[in-house]
Amino acid sequence: MTDGREALVVGASGISGNNVARRLVSHGWTVWGLTRSGSVPVDEVQPIAADVQKADEVRHALDGVSPTHIFYCTWARRAVEAENCAVNSAMLSNVLTALADRSTVQHVALVTGLKHYLGPFESYAKSPAVTPFREEQPRLPGENFYYDQEDVLFAAAERDGYTWSVHRPHTMIGWALGNTMNMGVTLAAYGALCRETGEPFVFPGSPEQYSGVTDITDARLLAAQLEWAATTPDAANTAFNTVNGDVFRWRQMWKVVAAGLGVEPAEYPGYPQPLETRMAGMGPVWQRLVERFDLQPTSLDSLASWWHTDADLGRTMETFADMNLGRSLGFTETQDSRRSFLDLFDTLREARVIPPL
């Protein structure tokens, strides 16, 4: 029973927003999806078009919308962290301010990530890190737009009288196209290009990532935790790590990924070979694949985020998070990380985004 729950999902076309919108609709929620274009890839979601960087536009777009729950699942990247802090805190503030007079709002969930522990892009993974990451660890010194977003959320919740939750996923794997931080789709494109060109399907990252312990977040599991935290009183006003609940080493997972893409895994050379360099100029090759296999007319640039996958796989420290806090409060769902990749690859083939095996 949803008891009249009505959700506003901000960023409903992205990997986290898309998946939580789908889950909520399937559980009987009324869902509005706010995106810049007004396009939402879930038929049952009511679309709202607004650029959340523009306060007046957001206020006008949300006029007449009175959600019980808000799921904030978007962000904007800028050249330096000071700009990231300014723009991302303003975007969240614009949404919460536009709804400040709606007495219907009961809970706001904010999706951030493990840069809470690893630092921002310009100093990413350069600070000492103690694994597994636990929610009670103190903030790192220096600027971090996740911290600014949290502070905006905490102040708005105190002002307007609703509860909040913060969710910190690791690398997210799941269905979404055109997302700038989607390793699963990026690896799928990489595998298809290697099959086409004969390039070796070699792990592109650091020795530390290849052999160290890590984890990931299935976007479906994130959606499950978002719904749980938003509707569980014991979870109110809490920040949660959000990972699958298992750990792995890429030296093992790389064979699973390769098999799922129908390509032979190459021997790891012991040093990074970044995809952004290796895959440069592959746009025309991808276009040949699109035409030959009658794939969706998507450009390689809209599918593959080489830079982001290079950043994740190029870290020189092991990275994994503890889930005991959520479990202690009742969130016990887990996800086999092997299936996170394999299910996504199956979905991409069914949707004719990547070539068949």
Which positions are catalytic? 115, 146
Taking residue 248's Cβ as centre, other Cβ atoms within 10 Å add up to 18
54-56-57-61 Cα dihedral, nearest 10 degrees: 140
Angle at 235 between CA 231 and CA 241, to 5 degrees: 110
18/237 Cα distance (integer angstroms) = 24
Whole-angstrom Cα Rg for the chain: 20
CB 135 within 8 A of CB 158: no
Query: What is the SS3 assignment for the chain?
Result: CCCCCEEEEECCCCHHHHHHHHHHHHCCCEEEEEECCCCCCCCCCEEEECCCCCHHHHHHHCCCCCCCEEEECCCCCCCCHHHHHHHHHHHHHHHHHHCCCCCCCCEEEEECCCHHHHCCHHHCCCCCCCCCECCCCCCCCCCCHHHHHHHHHHHHHHHHCCEEEEEEECCEECCCCCCCCCHHHHHHHHHHHHHHHCCCECCCCCHHHHHCCECCEEHHHHHHHHHHHHHCHHHCCEEEEECCCCCECHHHHHHHHHHHHCCCECCCCCCCCCHHHHCCCCHHHHHHHHHHHCCCCCCHHHHCCHHHHHHHHCCCCCECECCHHHHHCCCCCCCCHHHHHHHHHHHHHHCCCCCCC
